Amino acid sequence: MARARYWEPIAQWMFIVPAGAYLLLFFGYPIVKNVVMSFQQYTTTTFYTGAAPFVGLRNYSEILSSALFSKALLTTVLFTAGSIAGQFVLGLAFALFFHRRFPLGGVLRSLLLLPWLLPLVVSATTWKWMLDTDTGVVNDVLRDLHLQSSGIPWLTGTSQALVSVMVVNIWVGIPFNTTILYSGLQEIPAHLYEAAKLDGAGPMASFRHVTWPLLRPAVNVVLVLGAVYTVKVLDLILVVTGGGPANATETLATQSYELSFQQFEFGRGAAMSNVLVAISLTFAFVYLRAHRRAQHA
């Protein structure tokens, strides 16, 4: 018995130590390493000589003062806000639609998940082709309907490209929004709707006084997680526009990738990605607060 008591705490810890070690190595280490790198002049030469001199805040001051940064920041904000607004409104509409019971409803709802399950690179590649100026199906349709004689440069026009990548990202994000909001709707007790009906509430009034307040926890989760996922979107933009044309779709995430892996300025890339981390962490705290409130509700 004494032996068991001695071993017990160690045995318990053995369950959690491997996962903890992994998380420390693959999240803890990169976060710390990025902070250190962001104060260093860390370039390709570093890989040969091992020398990465500390340069203080120079990486940050260079990045923050560059014209591209303020543009990329604005693009990130527009991309995130536009994507979330679009996927939330459409996702909510789909959730409300599927909340009514009708034949095939369940099958259709599960098919709706497909855009979210496909690899992002696959969706992005397909959209890239659909939006092609000369050979894309979107312009084909517009021409056939005589809405447009020459093709619209969806991805190569500086004023269209950002909207185009947003549309693709909205398409990808709708299923997630629908799924979470739908499960939120399912948890609202039916008798509340019956009570509202007895009080003479129409569909609009019962949405405002029953659905919306009770859906709030799910709405919070969807909006904050959406923001966290969207600020760091990288693959979609890289594939669809590559950040172009003329940096029109360059975000903080694509900038950070380019600095590190195309210009091999790892120090500046790290500084850029730390700005992204700071933004994500802000959302993280909003998320945790919303989460806690949802659990206490």
Q: Interaction with other proteins in 16-45: which residues (CB under 8 A)?
A: 16, 18-20, 22-23, 26-27, 29-31, 33-34, 37, 42
Q: What is the rounded distance in angstroms from the CA atom of residue 220 to the CA atom of residue 211?
A: 14
State how far the Cα of 127 lies from the Cα of 114, in Å rounded to an integer. 15
Site for other proteins in 78-97 (CB under 8 A): 94, 97
Position 263 contacts other proteins (CB under 8 A): no
Among 13, 148, 205, 263, binds other proteins (CB under 8 A): 13
Bridge partners, residue 40, by sequence = 54
Q: Which residues does 131 contact at the CB level (< 8 Å), separation at least 6?
A: 138, 154, 155, 164, 240
Separation in Å, CA 69 to CA 65, 175, 209: 7, 32, 44
Query: Which of 51, 68, 147, 281 contacts other proteins by CB under 8 A?
Result: 281
Tokens representing 126 are 């397909």
Nearest approach, Cβ of residue 52 and other proteins (Å): 9
Q: How far is the CB of 257 from other proteins (least distance, A)?
A: 6
Left, alpha or beta for 134 (phi > 0: left; psi -120 to 50: alpha)? alpha
Burial of 193 (0-12, 13-18, 19+ CB in 10 A): middle
The 176-205 contact track toward other proteins, x by CB under 8 A, reads x--xx--x----------------------
Residue 123 touches other proteins, criterion: CB under 8 A: yes
CA distance 78 to 252: 12
Contact between 54 and other proteins per CB under 8 A? no
Per CB under 8 A, which region of 56-64, 80-88, 99-107, 158-166 contacts other proteins?
Answer: 99-107
Q: Which of residues 141-170 bind other proteins (CB under 8 A)?
A: none
Selected from 53, 105, 189, 203, the binder of other proteins by CB under 8 A is: 105
Q: Among all chains, which residue has been given the structure tokens 């949405």?
A: 207
Which 228-257 positions form the footprint of other proteins (CB under 8 A)?
228, 231-232, 234-235, 238-239, 253, 256-257
